[in-house]
Amino acid sequence: MSRVVTRLRDEWKFTRTPVPDALQPGLDDASWESVTVPHDWAIAGPFDKENDLERKVRKGQLDVEASVQEIAGRTGGLPHTGEGWYRKWIEVPAAETPKCYRLECDGIMSHAVIYCNGKEAGGWPYGYSSFALDLTGFIRPGERNLIAVHVNNPASSSRWYPGAGIYRNVLLVELDPVHIKLWGVEITTPELSDAQGSVRVVTRLEAVTPDSEITVRTTILDPDGTPVVEEEYSIVTTSVVEQKLVVDSPRRWSLETPAQYTVRSEVMVKGAVVDTLDNRFGFRTVRFDPNLGMFLNDKPVKMKGVCQHHDLGPLGAAVNTAALRRQLEMLKEMGCNAIRTSHNPPAPELPALASEMGMLVIDEAFDEWKYVKMINGYHTLWDAWAEKDLRAMIKRDRNHPAVIMWSTGNEISEQWKEDGAAISQFLVDICHDEDPTRPATGGLNNVAASRRNVVVPTVDIIGLNYQPQDYVHVHTLHPGKAIYGSETASTVSSRGEYYFPAVDEIHLKRDTLQVSSYDLSYAGWATAPDVEFRAQDECDFIMGEFVWTGFDYLGEPTPYAEEWPSRSSYFGIIDLGGIPKDRFYLYQAKWSDKPVLHLMPHWTWPGHEGKPVPVQCYTNYKEVELFVNGKSLGRLSRYPKGRVLQSNYRFLWPAVPYEPGEIRVVAYGPKGVMMSETCVHTAGEPAAITLVADRQTMAADGEDMAFVTARVVDKHGNLCPRANNSIAFKIAGPATVAAVCNGDATSLESFKSNRIKAFNGMCVAYLCSSGGPGDVIVSASSEGVAEGVVGLRAD
């Protein structure tokens, strides 16, 4: 009999109350909260500035005076610190033959200790690592067994919202004593041509003895699921089996056609199959040239990437495949082709989805090494856990074709420490040992500074954070190393917020705690997107960029670190609820092949008649013309003399006299032929809610999601750009409202509700199927306006 995998999803009991006997089977937990896993205990709130509030002494002028700096929203203002307990009873069938039991945990935040039937089975402190525990000596087959998990999130341990609890999946795996080890199948493709692809498969086994009579059968299935090659290997004494198989006319994995094959590994004892495991992989080659850039399958590829933290906005850190897929779909629509996991190992679903959908991934391990960033940061785990955590990340993800590099860390303090090179080399050596097919990199800052960065010589590929002005200099200093922008731009904006005039704003703060959406606002270390565009275009050797960030995330509300309420970032190209900001179209115009014509701002400015309003257009057309109520305000073309802005994708009319009505922009192609147009109308009073669902069907599995956007519109259907109506969502049919979000970084309304205020006319409801098939009707209501309704189907 092959392995039996049981996902431990439902019927967990949870409490934040300290319970001394929580690990004991005899405890009565009936009063505890019932939850499903993945679970983030903090995401329901309430928001409070005292949650993980940081207080730092800041010296005044000439160090004579000192003041206390309060950082209120750094980790989202949510109650994620402290301890929690989870308990779950599981039925384990009686076994006629000896069995092994393995508990596989994709990630528990953090310092998890796991007990089985009242006894400690082990644990893992780093909340981002996947790990497994052998429960064979603790499980009692034929009886009910208790799994208890203690979690402890110390304060001042993260620079962003980390989540809390069992926020990734947990599996119980029943195995024959002879079985494949955790992440025990390693797949590489050392030789590849159009005619043939060689596949090296290394299988690592448990419980092999000289008289085991074990055979490993390896079958490769093509992307359609058809077996194309099979090989058996009889083992005498070894627990490591290496095989080389050949596939004729392999289909390549690429960004356009992400074809994946499957290695099916079967372990047989005396001819009977005792374990079976499938692993997906892809045939592809990746080459990094210091002078010419990156090549995928011998074709040049520029990485058009974003950095992503692991939270899913209003769902918190609790992983959901549908929500993660939605993020990747939106990023691909924008033209993005790469993700840098910032600054930690991702949920295993991310590299799997990226491999399926055709996106590149840089897996990153740490934000902190031995030297401190946060009082209770990773340096407290470094000596005992750094090697274990890094090896775990690589072993888990190395078969995914999407993964192209291993990043050992982000902006770590060791870059200028005396022992920094040795520490970095220690990690790079681990990368090379576990996976010699991929290079090691890191997100490095101030590489071209006067201080010598000792980490640079140790990495295979240089990742530069916020240094577009130094690309040529760094390339000259390190001519043998390929270079890319590992973190770029850090432009900030609030969706639908516009402040005049449209000029560069460096770390500018406003009483509204919002940031202008003209996309000229950025942090002190950062730039507008156009600066990076120019540097990337002028430096052929640069392999691409990873923008900070693709989506807004919880925590790090720059520039409002000291102000409250401000509990989530402004960096995202897409807001926290998944609504694109204006900047989405700037990147889409630069990165994608789609024709783009996006006009901003809204045209509803009562009381501003006759006064100037900056009007901006994002486009990849060659020439555009602006009209106000039918009157032309002139054409703008690429590369005009005296152009102030650095981009050929941004066109600005800095002072357009406001008059209610319509602004319209027309795009022209070669020979002045009109190619496209778009317009924005002055909105009247809110009259109705319109609903748009991102899909028509969702799986009736209790986990799949649909995302419904509500828009407050006037009687003509124009978005009311300042509407803040409180909108209540109601569901009829087999679905529930899992979360709501409006993208406002200052909102303290709970995500775990069916009601939220619109932010600048819009908000989103996250719908989750409730397990059965049927029609789902979603309605949204608000006082004084017509109700919105949309339907979909759960199957």
Angstrom distances, CA of residue 333 to CA of 459, 600, 618: 32, 20, 16
Residue whose entry in the numeric block shows the structure tokens 């005292």:
50
Token output for 438: 């991929």
Q: What are the beta bridge partners of residue 100?
A: 175
Q: 565 preceded by cis ω (within 30°)?
A: yes
Rounded CA gap, 570 and 578, in Å? 13
Query: How far is 420 from 312, CA to CA, in rounded Å?
Result: 34
Q: Could you say which of 266, 364, 487, 625 is catalytic?
A: 487
Residue 160 near residue 343, CB atoms below 8 Å: no
Which pair of structure tokens corresponds to residue 118? 């009242």
Is 725:758 a contact under the CB 8 Å cutoff?
yes
Q: Are strands 440-444 and 403-410 parallel, antiparallel or unpaired?
A: parallel
206 is catalytic: no
Question: Is the separation of the CB atoms in 13 and 29 below 8 Å?
Answer: yes
Q: Which is nearest to 205 in space by CA: 156, 240, 236, 155?
A: 240
Q: How far apart are CA 528 and CA 532, in angstroms?
A: 7
Please name every residue paired with 642 in a beta bridge, in sequence order, or none if there are none.
none
How far apart CA 470 and CA 744 sit, in angstroms, is 35
- State the Rg of the chain over Cα: 27
To which residue do tokens 């840089």 refer? 362
Give, in degrees to the nearest 5, the angle at Cα 644 between 642 and 649: 110
The widest CA-to-CA distance across the chain, in whole angstroms, is 91
Inter-residue contact 767 to 705 (CB < 8 Å): yes
Lookup: tokens for 142: 């034929």
Q: How far apart are alpha carbons 529 and 492 in whole angstroms?
A: 10
d(C-alpha 671, C-alpha 395), whole Å: 56
Distance CA 551, CA 555 (A): 12
Cβ atoms of residues 657 and 610 within 8 Å: yes
- The catalytically annotated residue of 174, 186, 364, 411 is 411
Specify the residue for token string 């796991």: 114
Strand partners, 653: 615
CA distance 328 to 31: 39
Question: Is 703 assigned a catalytic role?
Answer: no
Per the structure block, which two tokens stand in for 448?
A: 């071209």
Catalytic residues: 411, 487
